[in-house]
Every structure is written in C-alpha cells, then in structure tokens.
Amino acid sequence: MSTQAKPRQVKLRDVAQAAGVAVGTVSRVLNANPTVTEAVRRKVQAAIDDLGYEMDVVAQSLRGGTTKMVACAIRDFDIPQFATYIKEAERIFRENGYTLLLSSTTNQPDVEMALLRAFERRRVDGIMMTISDEGHAGVARALAEAGVPVLLIDRDHIGTLDRVTVDHFGGARAATQHLLGLGHRRIAMLVGDLKAFPSRSRVEGFRAACAAAGVAIDPGLLRERVLDQEDAFRETMALLSLPDAPTAFFVAAMDTLGGSLRALRALGREVGRDVALVAGSDSDLAELYSPGVTAIRWNLAEMGRHAATMLLERMRGEAPATSRALKLPTTLVIRQSCQAVTAGNRD
Amino acid sequence: MSTQAKPRQVKLRDVAQAAGVAVGTVSRVLNANPTVTEAVRRKVQAAIDDLGYEMDVVAQSLRGGTTKMVACAIRDFDIPQFATYIKEAERIFRENGYTLLLSSTTNQPDVEMALLRAFERRRVDGIMMTISDEGHAGVARALAEAGVPVLLIDRDHIGTLDRVTVDHFGGARAATQHLLGLGHRRIAMLVGDLKAFPSRSRVEGFRAACAAAGVAIDPGLLRERVLDQEDAFRETMALLSLPDAPTAFFVAAMDTLGGSLRALRALGREVGRDVALVAGSDSDLAELYSPGVTAIRWNLAEMGRHAATMLLERMRGEAPATSRALKLPTTLVIRQSCQAVTAGNRD
C-alpha cells in the first residue's frame, strides 16, 4: 500500500466539471454562501462526494500564503450597535469565502498589541478593529508592523490606515443645538474615553454648539469615561444631586441610556417633564420608552458592509495606495424627551 | 548564506527562562490573556523580541494536528442575548489560548451543513452551534461526521452531543400560570420555529399550564415562526384585529418584544390596562418600558461560561465518554404589565 502512487489530487475544476457549474459556484458552495440555491448546492456536494474532493485549508495556507481568515477585534461585542455592524461584515466576508475570527480587546492597549501579534501568527489576511487609545505609541507601532491590511472601526487618528467612521461631531452638535434651542443652558454630557475618536468628536461637537450659542460650559457637567450602564447610573445620580443640577442630559456614550434612565427613575425625575434627555445612539429602548427619547442615529449595517468591502478591496490589492476614510452621516431623531426648561431651573 | 546551518529554533521554554517566568505565563502572554499583569507582559515580550521567538501557528497546526481555534455558529448574532453568551464564551476560550471563529448559520440547514464542512477544512478543534431543525437528517449526519467535539447551544434533540439548554418549559409554564392566575383565558402566544428546542419547549410549557388549569387553547392564538420584530409586529396586529381578540400576549420568541409593543402602540392599546403582556426573554426594554414588562430571565453569561468550559473539557479529553447536558433555570421577573382582565373581555 505504502509503495502505491498517490492518486491524482482532485481539483476544484474537476468538481465544477462533474457538477456542470462554474468553478466560482463550487467555491461558493464550499464557503457556505447562502446565495447558492439548494439545488445547485446538492449537485455540487454530490460531485464533491463522488470525486472525494478534499480542500485542506491549513495546507493551502502554507503553500499559498493566504488563510482566507479575517480578524475582527472590538472592545466589547455585547454592545448591540457593534453586533449589527459585525453581523453585516461577517455576511460580506462569508459570501466572499472568508471566515471571521472574533476577539475582544477588553479596551486595553496591551491586549490590543498581543492580539495583533496573535493574528499575525494565525496568518490572517486582514484585520478590522477598534483601539482604545489612538495616541498609544506601542499600539501604533504594532499596527504599522501588522504585515496585513488593517481597517480601523470608528477610529480616525492613525491616518495611514483605512477606516470607517461616524460623524459623531455633527450628531453631537445637532443634539446640543436642539437642547440649546429649547432653552437649556445647564446641559450635562456623559461620554466615553476621550482617547478614542467617537467620544473626542462628540465633545468637540458639544463644544462647537455651545460656543456658537455663546453658552459657557460648566466643566463639572462634562463626565468622561462613562463606558457602561453602571457608569451612566452613577454619574447621573451624582449630577442630579448637585445643588445646581443640570436641566438636560446628553447621554452620548454608546449603549448607556439604560443606566441614566434607571438613575432618573430612582430619584423620581420624569423625562420630558423634569429633565430633557438625548441619547447618543438610537435603540429600541430610546424609541419605545415613554416618552420616546430623542437620539442620534446612523446606519450600522451600512457601516459593516462598507468596512468589509473596503478591507476586501485592500486585501485583494484593488484599493488605491493611499488610505481611505469613509465617514457615515448621522441624523437626530426627535422624540418627546426634550422640553423647554421650567422657569425655576433657568439660569 | 543559503549553505549556512539553520539556527536552533527558539522554544517557548527559552523565552520563559530568559524572562524568569513559567512556560504557562509565556503562553498566556502569547494568547493575549488579560489576566497577565502589564509588568509581566513587558518582561515576556522583551524576551521574545531579544530571542527572536516566532510561533508559527499554521505550521504547528500541520505538525500537531491542533489549530487552537474553536468555531461558533449561531443563527443571528445581533440578537443581544446571543451577544452576551458569545462574549463570555470568547473570554473563556481566549484565556485558554483559543481563538474564536464566528459564522452565522442564517438559520438554514444547507448553510449549517456547509459550515460544518468548512470548519472541518479549517481543522478547528471544536464547534459550538445552534441548528435550525433538530429533525433534519442531513444536519444530524454532518454533526455526527464533524470529526471534532460539537456542543449544541440551546438544542436538545440530538442526545449524543454535549449541550447547554435553558429551562424554557419551566419559564413558559410559570409565565402562563401567572396570566391564568390573573384571570386571563384568551392568551396569545408568539413563538419561533417549533423545529428547534426553545420554541418547542415553550409551547409545551404553555400547554402544560393551560391543561393543569383546565383551559382550552384556541389554536388561532398560537402563532409560530415569529423570528424577528417584524414578524411580531405583524402577528400582534393580526391578533388584535380578531373579533374575539386575546386579553393577554405571551411574546415568547427571543428579542421580539419591540415588535409587539409597536403594534400595541399603533392600535392605541395600553399595556397593563388594555392587554396583559409577558416577554419570553428579559431586556433593558422590558425593564424600563412603562409599565415594566414581566419577563422570563436566565443567566446568559453563565450559559456562555458553562458552554465554553464543557467544550474545552471535551476537546482536552477530560469529559466523560457519554454526552453531557446542562439545563439553566429560568425565573419570572414580575413587573406591572399584567393585570386582571376587564369584565368585558372575560369569557
């Protein structure tokens, strides 16, 4: 047996010929692409079974230098907005024959650097990720040395990499203008970490709107590093207990609205009557809360689609040499959570 | 240069010795384990850089037969409950040196079978997944032929595989008993696909509670294949327009509460006054809606932790030969969305 000649390796084109379809169709079947009809899938699978075709991805990786894997690392993937983004990106990659590796960065530079090295060892073909601190020299170096295309998700500082971002500046400015227009002057803002683009541009938008209206910002009302609902609860409680409490809350950090709503409820403050409220990202909760919460919205599915497409083009060498940046627009969805401040609170 | 002897390959233990740490610590650094302190991480990374240590995962895979990759395939990962589950599972895998592959099954048996083959080609060390139809012969065969350990997520039919499930039967029975106890007799139930365990056991729990109370079920009030918020909106609208409309809604399908709430709002029905409402899975929306929506709750993070731990044990050969099943308990969180029916609606 051991002296017998190894049988000729069955190739993709043999399968295609036997099934009477194009090579690309066989590839789509192998990659579990849902656009293939069940009839075609069965025909191709029958040919694969008949011919004993075996695609060895790991061995191919060593020969061809491509693993058809893309890594995605984000700070926390139980944030619903990220899930919508990843869902769309994964669909695009899967339909193009790529498998997604998913890791959490836990929002720590050390983990981000270690992940970049781990992705390199896995020989992924491309990476899309968030980073916690756009000014971190070690992370910047690790990104530069990644060896494969990297696309940044909603990060803007490192200009040499492709990136998809959101116009948080415009969104925050519109939200602040809305509150100012209703007479609010003491506006509290809850925002994430200023080391990263989204929070930084939200604060810039807030400042721009206040400056344009000639309204001074009380630094005590600007609360940074609000990263989850517990942070939002604590900061909202603290702000409400100030002697000169804010009349409006701009809860700008992602997926933190629930925390602020619990604090308002705990202290018996009614949204739209006692305080005005704007959410930094739209959600079922913002829409269906009573009263509905005015919120900033952007198209997360479109963001995921664009990111995956841009990264695929870069991986295939179809992108221009210079880095590309796509900025998605935001809209302010106005509901019933903001009202003119009562005379007693006006300053 | 080409005739020169290849330098001795730097091993993990050389790095450990140079850094003055255990081999396991080096491994944890390489795997981006966040439990390693920054000081230790730096020391190990310095030793790696000094010695020029290179871990080639792909080449190791060919030699050692292990890729340290685990695949996770679920029907839709922008369902927040799944995201919490995956977040915890990914953390356990990452801390144990495994990387997660993530794919959507789009809830189609053909895609599930194709993914199982694709995972095999990627030589993953283990798989955890949902399947859309526990009675599908092709999927059952593909699972049996997977060649690596498979853990089913909230699926119970295929008894030869490890699985983590939720006591949906008990949850649905408690929810139904609650509604029956408040006097409701015409209870609508919105549920997913009965081909899979969660919906099937929810309906069984509903039937058991009705049977015990001697209440006949109107088949017209049991709506199946409610898979997303659009389905829930449409079915709730249809149910409300029945001449003999239900007085209570048990919106049992995952992440569909928003759709039913929109329908009730569109028709001007107030929850807790005009209709009673129970949600099949708890959420910020259920908690913070006015009135709060009574909901079934279970610990999703714990479910993810257990699933990852069970699969790791199976992959390492530390699990017993027979399959293991873990069933998580549910609790009914009672809020203000259910009230005694008004006399006019009582039958």
CB contact under 8 A, A77 and B62: no
Tell me the residue type at A334: I
Report yes or no on A244 lying in a domain.
yes
Tell me the residue type at A109: P
A47 lies within 8 A of chain B by CB: no
Co-location of A28 and A98 in the same domain:
no
Which residues in chain A touch residue B79, judged by CB atoms under 8 angstroms apart? 83
| CA angle in degrees (0–180, nearest 5) for B327-B332-B337 | 150
Which residues in chain B touch residue A118, judged by CB atoms under 8 angstroms apart? 30-32, 99
Instruction: Give the percent of chain B with pLDDT over 70.
Output: 91
pLDDT bin (cut points 50, 70, 90) of residue A10 is confident
CB contact under 8 A, B289 and A284: no
As a whole number of angstroms, the distance between CA A192 and CA B338 comes to 37
As a whole number of angstroms, the distance between CA A327 and CA A165 comes to 5
ipTM: 0.80
Co-location of A304 and A286 in the same domain:
no
> What pLDDT, on a 0 to 100 scale, did the predictor assign at position A157?
73
Using an 8 Å Cβ cutoff, are A86 and A77 in contact?
A: yes
pLDDT bin (cut points 50, 70, 90) of residue A65 is low
> What pLDDT, on a 0 to 100 scale, did the predictor assign at position A62?
53
Compute the average pLDDT of residues B207-220: 97
Which residues in chain A touch residue B100, judged by CB atoms under 8 angstroms apart? 101-103
Contacts of residue A2, Cβ cutoff 8 Å, sequence gap at least 6: none
Report yes or no on A60 lying in a domain.
no
pLDDT bin (cut points 50, 70, 90) of residue B341 is low
Q: Assign residue A272 a region (left: φ > 0; alpha: ψ between -120 and 50; beta: otherwise).
A: left
Weakest mean pLDDT among A53-57, A180-184, A237-241: A53-57
Instruction: Give the percent of chain A with pLDDT over 70.
Output: 91
For the cut 50, the answer to whether the pLDDT of residue B2 exceeds it is no
B222-223 vs B162-166, strand pairing mode: unpaired
Contacts of residue A214, Cβ cutoff 8 Å, sequence gap at least 6: none
For the cut 80, the answer to whether the pLDDT of residue A66 exceeds it is no
Co-location of B225 and B280 in the same domain:
yes
For the cut 80, the answer to whether the pLDDT of residue B104 exceeds it is yes
Place of tokens 């590796």: A101
Compute the average pLDDT of residues B316-338: 95
For the cut 90, the answer to whether the pLDDT of residue A276 exceeds it is yes
Min Cα distance A217 → chain B (Å) is 31
For the cut 80, the answer to whether the pLDDT of residue A213 exceeds it is yes
> What pLDDT, on a 0 to 100 scale, did the predictor assign at position A58?
57
For the cut 60, the answer to whether the pLDDT of residue A273 exceeds it is yes
Q: Assign residue B268 a region (left: φ > 0; alpha: ψ between -120 and 50; beta: otherwise).
A: left
Tell me the residue type at A135: G
Per the structure, the complete domain to which residue B98 belongs is given by 66-166+299-327
Chain A to chain B Cβ contacts (< 8 Å) = 152
> What pLDDT, on a 0 to 100 scale, did the predictor assign at position B288?
97
Q: What is the total count of domains within chain B?
A: 3
> What pLDDT, on a 0 to 100 scale, did the predictor assign at position B57?
58
Which residues in chain A touch residue B69, judged by CB atoms under 8 angstroms apart? 101
**Residue B101, SS3?**
strand
CB contact under 8 A, B80 and A80: yes
A55 lies within 8 A of chain B by CB: yes
CB contact under 8 A, A55 and B121: yes
CB contact under 8 A, B284 and A258: yes
Residue B318, phi then psi, degrees to nearest 5: -95, 0
| From B100, B118, B285, residue closest to A288, measured CB to CB | B285
A204 lies within 8 A of chain B by CB: no
Instruction: Give the percent of chain B with pLDDT over 90.
Output: 65
Using an 8 Å Cβ cutoff, are B44 and B21 in contact?
A: yes
Average pLDDT of chain A, as a whole number: 89
Q: Which of A72, A110, A141, A303 to mutate to test the interface with B (most CBs of B within 10 A)?
A: A110
Compute the average pLDDT of residues A290-295: 96
> What pLDDT, on a 0 to 100 scale, did the predictor assign at position B28?
78
Report yes or no on B24 lying in a domain.
yes
Question: Half-sphere exposure of residue A312, counting CA atoms within 13 Å on the CB side?
Answer: 18
Report yes or no on B248 lying in a domain.
yes
> What pLDDT, on a 0 to 100 scale, did the predictor assign at position A242?
96
Q: Which of residues 105-134 of B touch A (CB under 8 A)?
A: 106, 108, 110-111, 114-115, 117-118, 121-123
A61 lies within 8 A of chain B by CB: yes
Using an 8 Å Cβ cutoff, are B341 and B276 in contact?
A: yes
Structure tokens at B169: 């039967």
| From A84, A90, A261, residue closest to B104, measured CB to CB | A90
Distances (CA, A) of A318 to A158, A321, A322: 21, 9, 12
Co-location of B278 and B268 in the same domain:
yes
Q: DSSP state, B77? A: T
Tell me the residue type at B274: D
CB contact under 8 A, A289 and B284: no
A294-297 vs A331-333, strand pairing mode: antiparallel
Co-location of A175 and A256 in the same domain:
yes
| From B55, B58, B87, residue closest to A104, measured CB to CB | B87
Min Cα distance A213 → chain B (Å) is 34
For the cut 80, the answer to whether the pLDDT of residue B39 exceeds it is yes
C-beta neighbour count of A63 within 10 angstroms: 8
Whichever domain contains B50, its CATH number is: 1.10.260.40
CB contact under 8 A, A122 and B99: yes
Tell me the residue type at B167: D
pLDDT bin (cut points 50, 70, 90) of residue B54 is low
pLDDT tens digits along A171-209 = 999 999 999 999 999 999 999 999 999 999 999 999 999
Compute the average pLDDT of residues A149-164: 90
CB contact under 8 A, A106 and B30: no
Co-location of B155 and B231 in the same domain:
no
> What pLDDT, on a 0 to 100 scale, did the predictor assign at position B80?
80
**Residue B4, SS3?**
coil
pLDDT bin (cut points 50, 70, 90) of residue A344 is very low
| Closest CA in chain B for residue A111 | B32
Report yes or no on B214 lying in a domain.
yes
Which residues in chain B touch residue A293, judged by CB atoms under 8 angstroms apart? none
Structure tokens at A298: 């952007």
Whichever domain contains A269, its CATH number is: 3.40.50.2300
Query: Higher confidence at residue B149 or residue A339?
Result: B149
Compute the average pLDDT of residues B243-254: 96
Co-location of A157 and A304 in the same domain:
yes
Min Cα distance B170 → chain A (Å) is 26
pLDDT tens digits along B303-321 = 999 999 999 999 999 999 8
As a whole number of angstroms, the distance between CA B95 and CA A211 comes to 47
> What pLDDT, on a 0 to 100 scale, did the predictor assign at position B3?
41
pLDDT tens digits along A101-114 = 888 888 899 989 98
As a whole number of angstroms, the distance between CA B311 and CA B85 comes to 14
Min Cα distance B211 → chain A (Å) is 35
Weakest mean pLDDT among A37-51, A106-120, A320-334: A37-51
Compute the average pLDDT of residues B142-155: 93
Compute the average pLDDT of residues A317-345: 84
> What pLDDT, on a 0 to 100 scale, did the predictor assign at position A136?
93
- DSSP secondary structure, B297-310, as one string: E--HHHHHHHHHHH
CB contact under 8 A, B111 and A34: yes
pLDDT tens digits along B187-200 = 999 999 999 999 99
B76 lies within 8 A of chain A by CB: yes
> What pLDDT, on a 0 to 100 scale, did the predictor assign at position A272?
93
Co-location of B89 and B76 in the same domain:
yes
Which residues in chain A touch residue B104, judged by CB atoms under 8 angstroms apart? 87, 90-91, 94
pLDDT bin (cut points 50, 70, 90) of residue B13 is confident
Co-location of A308 and A258 in the same domain:
no
Co-location of A33 and A106 in the same domain:
no
Co-location of A193 and A133 in the same domain:
no
Using an 8 Å Cβ cutoff, are B298 and B330 in contact?
A: yes
For the cut 80, the answer to whether the pLDDT of residue A159 exceeds it is no
For the cut 70, the answer to whether the pLDDT of residue A126 exceeds it is yes
Co-location of A31 and A134 in the same domain:
no
CB contact under 8 A, A122 and B58: yes
Which residues in chain B touch residue A122, judged by CB atoms under 8 angstroms apart? 57-58, 99
| From B29, B31, B78, residue closest to A84, measured CB to CB | B78
Report yes or no on A278 lying in a domain.
yes
As a whole number of angstroms, the distance between CA A180 and CA A187 comes to 8
Report yes or no on A33 lying in a domain.
yes
What are B134's strand-pairing partners? none
Report yes or no on A80 lying in a domain.
yes
